[in-house]
Chains A and B, each alone.
Chain A
Amino acid sequence: DVKVTQSSRYLVKRTGEKVFLECVQDMDHENMFWYRQDPGLGLRLIYFSYDVKMKEKGDIPEGYSVSREKKERFSLILESASTNQTSMYLCASSPGGTGANVLTFGAGSRLTVL
């Protein structure tokens, strides 16, 4: 089975801290994604990557950056966390080509910023 692993299930950080959310997939997928999930808003795309060192902004990239130095790893970075970034963060991956639209999700990282 394809597995997408998010290293931290729960994090509590303080305003202004730098936060790293790590995601690793083990099926050699080309595409990786970071979504933010909030009640009543569904999932919103923050950033995605279709190749190593390649990234594109999603719908809500402000306040976030990403890094993809290796194919299997996609990191989400909050340079200076703010309380409005308290949320559930979901990482996903998908293969290239015709399977690109079938995403496999990790279990999520719930971030609380105090």
Chain B
Amino acid sequence: AQSVTQLDSQVPVFEEAPVELRCNYSSSVSVYLFWYVQYPNQGLQLLLKYLSGSTLVKGINGFEAEFNKSQTSFHLRKPSVHISDTAEYFCAVSDLAGGTSYGKLTFGQGTILTVHP
């Protein structure tokens, strides 16, 4: 079985500051990793994904994440945040057991990012 832990439930930052949202996962097999964002009163949108290849993944809105297999982490970063980045962010994992997963994702608990002026 796989699991995902987001280490911070809330992260307050000031506008234009850098931010890192932490995510650790556990799985006995190879995984795909994702970050989704949920703006208030909306569904989730895909921010970025790691399937294979380069461990540094770039996503939308200036976000990036780095896959670290030895530390089983997939932390999300942005060098300078905006007020509009205020949202809840979810890390998710899908394992490759059996060769296919039909898209079943296991989500973390979520991190609420609040950007203050």
Contacts and interface: CB of A to CB of B under 8 A. Distances in A.
Interface of A: 4, 31, 33, 35, 40-45, 48, 50, 56, 58, 90, 92, 94, 100-108
A90 B90 CA distance: 14
B114 to A, nearest CB: 15
Contacts of B90: 42-43
Contact of A45 (B34, B42, B104, B109): B104
A91 to B, nearest CB: 8
8 contacts: A33-B103, A45-B104, A50-B102, A58-B104, A100-B100, A100-B102, A103-B103, A103-B105
A31 B44 CA distance: 17
Given A42-B90, A101-B32, A101-B34, A106 B43 contact: yes
A102 B4 CA distance: 17
Contacts of B44: 43, 90, 92, 103, 105
Given A102-B46, A103-B46, A105-B45, A40 B9 contact: yes
B110 to A, nearest CB: 5
Interface residues of B, number: 28
Given A43-B107, A100-B102, A100-B103, A90 B43 contact: yes
B109 A101 contact: no
Contacts of A35: 107
A106 B41 CA distance: 11
Interface of B: 4, 6, 9, 32, 34, 36, 41-46, 49, 51, 90, 92, 94, 100-110
A39 B103 CA distance: 23
A107 B42 contact: yes
Nearest to A4: B43
Contacts of A40: 9, 109-110
B9 A105 contact: no
Q: Across chains A and B, which 10 residue pairs bring their CB atoms closest together, nearest first?
A: A105-B43, A100-B103, A94-B103, A43-B107, A42-B107, A105-B44, A42-B109, A50-B102, A107-B43, A101-B94
